[in-house]
Chains A and B, each alone.
Chain A
Amino acid sequence: MIRIDGLKKNYKDFNLDVSLDLKPGTINGLVGTNGAGKSTTFKAILGLISYKEGEIFINDKNIKDFKYEDKERIGCVMTDSFFSESFKIKDVAKILKATYKSFDEAAFYKKCEQYKLPTDKMIKEFSNGMKAKLKVLTALSHDTDVLILDEPTVGLDVVARDDILGEIRDYMEKDENRTVLISSHISSDIEKLCDTTYMIHDGKIVFNDDTDKLLSEYAALKVDEETFATMDKSHVKAYRKEKYGIECLTDARDFYIENYPSMVVEKMSVDEMMMILIKGEKL
């Protein structure tokens, strides 16, 4: 379980103001443009930055009161940070073994073998895909309740991404009380993996809903200005002007199909929803 209550972090040209409530047994996606506040939120949860307002709880314990045994229950992947690239996997395994009481050395090496990660080669000689897999395997190498994954699939091909998403699914299947928070620029990863999607923009959560609902009930309504002026807009979340007229984001796809049979109603990806929510206007 991860709960963020009114977290505020102020920089010179950026202000973060976030609240989240991630239930046990869920995989939660955080999407947003570059500089939206995803990594700042992750860093706050991991205790890497200070904040004057708000509280963060993991498993009902304030992270400011965390001890060794609390931190041991968290696994994390950071986009651009890991052990020294001059280490080999066998060095990483030795450090992890001395660090985590629950480190499963045999399982870690088995996974490395499964993904053809050489244990006797420096990490700097790995491909991007191999580095990303090693980061995820490291996060999964000990017993945890919470996984914090900042862009674990960035820069990877579709096969490597699928491997990583598969590992996260396996992790969740082993214990229904685990919680995952993952950020990604690739909306299809979020759509395939996450139970809930949070959208962050300019340091604020602008939107969140069940991912299944997003994909089944949300849609784009493509209308001309005359229709837009007269239509029922109670289920329209946001809209923006396009060359052909107006594109609206709705959370009641069936309502418009039933009541406006001539209206163009199209399914949307999370990326497309994000574009309307960020670039469009809210009602």
Chain B
Amino acid sequence: MKGLLIKDLRIASQQKVLLLLMAGCGIICLFTMKDTAFIIGYATLLCGMLGTTTCAYDDLNHGMSFLLTLPYSRKAYVLEKYLFSIAAGIAGWSISTVIAAISQIVFLKKPIGAEFLNGALTFIIPLFLIPTVMIPILLKFGQARSRIVMFTIMGIVFAIGGVLALAPSFGVAVYDENLTVEVVTFGIRNTLSYGLIIAGGIAASFVLFITSFLISLAVIQRKEY
């Protein structure tokens, strides 16, 4: 698997200019918005996305056919994709958390408390969710078609949201209007501690992550190149 990891690191390193540019934008936002949580979320999502885009690079110019002739099993290929994406996400999360902590202490003159740590830990959830959603789609549909699939999924989500939002104005009671996000969140926060909610979120993300890995494995085992 070492060869595959080196391959993906080489691909990631080719995007260093883009990464530096995005990092610069993130740091500017950190100082203008004075919101340390933003930089952590921004860097974690960016690095997580970077990990999964290596799938698209592999798919270019029928590259997958050649890669699968290397002495790695298809399972090893999929496992490496998930590990690389998570590693990239963790790297982004760790570095950004350290930067956010330093800037909070030095520039914002605020101590690091439970609120900061809880905020940082919250971003572990999307770190798992990015490869969970993207890798099976990229493996199943390839680089070109996966964009259409992603847009279709987003379109469906927005369409459902739109229907739910507009339904009451047409007199259709789809849900209880008093049941707002704030009410639900307040209800959960009242019964569970914030730490427990985050732990639950991370555990649920991890379960989805493993399920996604198994789906990707089934996809690649059946796919012909």
Interface residues of A in 62-121 (CB under 8 A from B): 68-72, 74, 76, 78, 80-87, 91, 94-96, 98-100
The number of residue pairs between A and B whose CB atoms lie closer than 8 Å in the complex comes to 81
A50 and B74 alpha carbons, distance in the complex (Å): 13
If A49-B225, A95-B3, A95-B10 touch, whether A76 touches B69 (CB-CB below 8 Å) is: yes
Q: Please list the residues of chain A having a beta carbon within 8 angstroms of any beta carbon in chain B.
A: 43, 46-50, 68-72, 74, 76, 78, 80-87, 91, 94-96, 98-100
Name the one of A48, A71, A94, A99 contacting B65, with C-beta atoms under 8 angstroms.
Answer: A48
If A49-B225, A50-B224, A71-B71 touch, whether A84 touches B57 (CB-CB below 8 Å) is: yes
Within the complex, the shortest CB–CB distance from A151 to chain B, in Å, comes to: 13
B70 lies within 8 A of A71 (CB): yes
One digit per residue, 1 when the CB lies within 8 angstroms of any chain A CB and 0 when it does not, for chain B 58-72 equals 101111111111111
Within the complex, the shortest CB–CB distance from B145 to chain A, in Å, comes to: 18
Cβ–Cβ < 8 Å partners of B71 in chain A = 68-72, 99-100
Within the complex, the shortest CB–CB distance from B55 to chain A, in Å, comes to: 12
A91 and B66 alpha carbons, distance in the complex (Å): 16
A87 and B12 alpha carbons, distance in the complex (Å): 11
Q: Please list the residues of chain B having a beta carbon within 8 angstroms of any beta carbon in chain A.
A: 2-3, 5-7, 10-11, 14, 57-58, 60-73, 222, 224-225
B66 lies within 8 A of A82 (CB): yes
If A48-B225, A50-B224, A86-B57 touch, whether A95 touches B65 (CB-CB below 8 Å) is: no
15 example contacts (A-B, Cβ-Cβ < 8 A) are as follows A47-B68, A47-B69, A48-B65, A48-B224, A68-B73, A74-B69, A76-B69, A78-B66, A81-B62, A82-B63, A85-B61, A91-B7, A95-B6, A98-B3, A99-B70
